[in-house]
């Protein structure tokens, strides 16, 4: 087998252990939903005992909203701090180090009931948010840097697979028959400590990113040894040469800070694409579909809608696996377009089904199909692709800052959707999906005209495409149609 396409045990191990960070993100995103009423009773009981007075419903609602939203606030701060860690400690050591936050946050949440301290739970959620925000930068960056070019997309999808598996595990563990009970909910929230312990031990046997070793640390021998282990071959000269060229170019550039990403014409278009792709994930309406899913299934006559919601989680997971196999064949851009276009069709069907639910009896089944279709198409494109394509759009120098900006965009839009969706739903009712339909059409058009295909292309090749566009004269054909130049570059046959 071609060394470029060879899947080795050390490579699988490194990618799988890194993806535990993604699983943590998914688990902590979904874990708070199932025990909502139980935790609210804990808030009520604890605060009543402390003050000797009944707690107002408004205060309870505010505390619950804070417990949910504070996770996203932590995520925003964490994601924006990615470059502070990865450039100083390296990719692997950063993942190892931040597990301290998982231990601290998990411990605070697990013992909040015993200590009768609402504050411990809220602070614990904030710390776990910080941890997950950092993981959303570390994991796709590490995976993209250890993976061979021809497998980068497939392994990059494992980041999203970790997230959806984490959400599914949280949904299952949150069932009343498992840990979604009055006695066990602290264990449900504190369970996040176990994957952190597992990852800490396993990361000791993972290599550092060879790109970080050679380009950032100038340790060529170590980088070569790591590459030989990951690729399963002694001849890694092509990888080393590509990294040396990138290193030489990086030494001539100004340090890529966050403001520089927006100021420099070499980076500006790439960072705008990165931000728009992250927004396309969060503003697609996927969170709204999960919010609505229980009601849709109830109206369809399903007696236990919670299991149907878990069914949607299974669909989520299955189609992420499908994307894993398609991404290196169909390409990132194509799958993103298919996902956005298909979701737009499903959004129309869901709007019609919700509007006519009391008029046409059989249309409720259309709403179920549309819901599952929406979830499946999300995982084909907008779910996995924005996370890892950001790492592909930038060379080694600006990559950490770009991952920080993109991650912060994702967490911020996630926070805003969570805060504003209930108001939009109250205002628009069953027509709320038309808002997301408009966003889906906008992102489809943007992707079609602006997003390049990165399948089978080296980091240096992709970044050079943007630079070629930036250096073009205002009258050149490249300037008039900036993506023509970038999309017309064919993958290197040796690489692909």
Contact 469, 269 (CB under 8 A): yes
Output the pLDDT for position 474. Answer: 47
Point out the residues of the chain with pLDDT beneath 50.
473-496
Contact 15, 146 (CB under 8 A): yes
Output the pLDDT for position 491. Answer: 43
Q: Is 250 exposed, middle or buried (0-12, 13-18, 19+ CB in 10 A)?
A: middle
Cα 162 to Cα 383: distance, rounded to the nearest angstrom: 12
Per residue, the 3-state secondary structure of the chain, as one string, reads: CCHHHCCCHHHHHHHHHHCHHHHHHHHHHHCCCCCHHHHHHHHHHHHHHHHCCCCCHHHHHHHHHHHHHHHHHHHHHHHHCHHHHHHHHCHHHHHHHCHHHHHHHHHHHHCHHHHCCHHHHHHHHHHHHHHHHHHHHHHHHHHHHHCCHHHHHHHHHHHHHHHHHHHHHHHHHCCCCCCCCCCCHHHHHHCCHHHHHHHHHHHCCCCCCHHHHHHHCCCHHHHHHHHHHHHCCCCCHHHHHHHHHHHHHHHHCCCCCHHHHHHCHHHHHHHHHHHHHHHHHHCCCHHHHHHHHHHHHHHCCCCCHHHHHHHHHHHHHHHHHHHHHHHHHHCHHHHHHHHHHHHHHHHHHHHHHHHCCCCCCCHHHHHHHHHHHHHHHHHHCCCCHHHHHHHHHCCCCCHHHHHHHHHHHHHHHHHHHHHHHHHHHHHHHHHCHHHHHHHHHHHHHHHHHHCCCCCCCCHHHHHHHHHHHHHCCCCCHHHHCHHHHHHHCCCCCCCC
Q: What are phi and psi of 397, to 5 degrees?
A: -60, -60
- pTM value is 0.88
Output the pLDDT for position 486. Answer: 45
Output the pLDDT for position 477. Answer: 40
Q: Which two tokens stand for residue 168?
A: 């599914």
Contact 382, 276 (CB under 8 A): no
Output the pLDDT for position 4. Answer: 56
Q: Which two tokens stand for residue 416?
A: 């805003």
Output the pLDDT for position 496. Answer: 35
- In 3D, which of 399, 403, 494 has the Cα closest to residue 456? 494
Cα 180 to Cα 173: distance, rounded to the nearest angstrom: 7
Residue with tokens 């709007």: 351
Nearest-10 crossing angle of helices 57-80, 82-89? 40
Contact 204, 83 (CB under 8 A): no
Output the pLDDT for position 313. Answer: 87
Neighbour tally for 11: CB within 10 Å: 20
Residue with tokens 């688990």: 27
Output the pLDDT for position 173. Answer: 95
């Amino acid at each position: 087998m071609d060394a470029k396409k060879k899947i080795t045990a050390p490579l699988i191990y490194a990618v799988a252990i890194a993806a535990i960070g993604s699983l943590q993100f998914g688990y902590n995103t979904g874990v708070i939903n199932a025990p909502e009423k139980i935790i609210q009773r804990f808030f009520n009981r604890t605060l009543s005992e402390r003050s000797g007075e009944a707690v107002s419903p408004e205060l309870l609602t505010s505390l619950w909203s804070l417990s949910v939203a504070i996770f996203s606030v932590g995520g925003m701060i964490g994601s924006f701090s990615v470059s502070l860690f990865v450039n100083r400690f390296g990719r692997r050591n950063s993942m190892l180090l931040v597990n301290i936050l998982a231990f601290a946050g998990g411990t605070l949440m697990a013992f909040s009931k015993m200590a009768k301290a609402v504050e411990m739970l809220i602070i614990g959620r904030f710390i776990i948010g910080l941890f997950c925000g950092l993981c959303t930068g570390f994991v796709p960056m590490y995976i993209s840097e250890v993976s061979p070019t021809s497998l980068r997309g497939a392994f990059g999808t494992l980041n999203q697979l970790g997230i959806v598996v984490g959400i599914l595990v949280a949904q299952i563990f949150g069932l009343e028959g498992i840990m979604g009970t009055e006695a066990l909910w602290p264990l449900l929230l504190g369970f996040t400590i176990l994957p952190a312990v597992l990852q800490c031990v396993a990361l000791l046997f993972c290599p550092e990113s060879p790109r970080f070793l050679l380009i950032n640390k100038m340790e060529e021998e170590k980088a070569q040894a790591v590459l030989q282990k990951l690729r399963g071959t002694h001849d890694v000269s092509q990888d080393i040469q590509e990294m040396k060229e990138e290193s030489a170019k990086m030494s001539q550039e100004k340090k890529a800070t966050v403001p520089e990403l927006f100021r420099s014409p070499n980076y500006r278009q790439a960072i705008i694409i990165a931000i728009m792709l992250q927004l396309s994930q969060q503003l697609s309406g996927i969170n709204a579909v999960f919010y609505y899913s229980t009601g849709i299934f109830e109206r369809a006559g399903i007696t236990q809608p919670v299991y149907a919601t878990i069914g949607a989680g299974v669909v989520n997971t299955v189609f992420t696996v499908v994307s894993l196999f398609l991404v290196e064949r169909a390409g990132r851009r194509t799958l993103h377009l298919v996902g956005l276009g298909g979701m737009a069709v499903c959004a129309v069907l869901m709007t019609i089904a919700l509007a006519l639910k009391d008029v046409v009896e059989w249309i409720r089944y259309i709403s179920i199909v549309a819901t599952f279709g929406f979830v499946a198409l999300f995982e084909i494109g907008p779910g996995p692709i924005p996370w890892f394509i950001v790492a592909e759009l930038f060379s080694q120098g600006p990559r950490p800052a770009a991952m920080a900006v993109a991650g912060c965009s994702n967490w911020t839009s996630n926070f805003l959707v969570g805060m504003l969706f209930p108001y939009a739903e109250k205002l628009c009712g069953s027509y709320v999906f038309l808002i997301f339909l408009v966003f889906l059409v906008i992102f489809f058009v943007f992707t079609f005209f602006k997003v390049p295909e990165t399948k089978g292309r080296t980091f240096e090749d992709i970044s050079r495409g943007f630079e070629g566009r930036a250096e073009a004269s205002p009258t050149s054909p490249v300037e008039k149609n900036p993506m023509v130049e970038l999309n017309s570059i064919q993958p290197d046959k040796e690489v692909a």
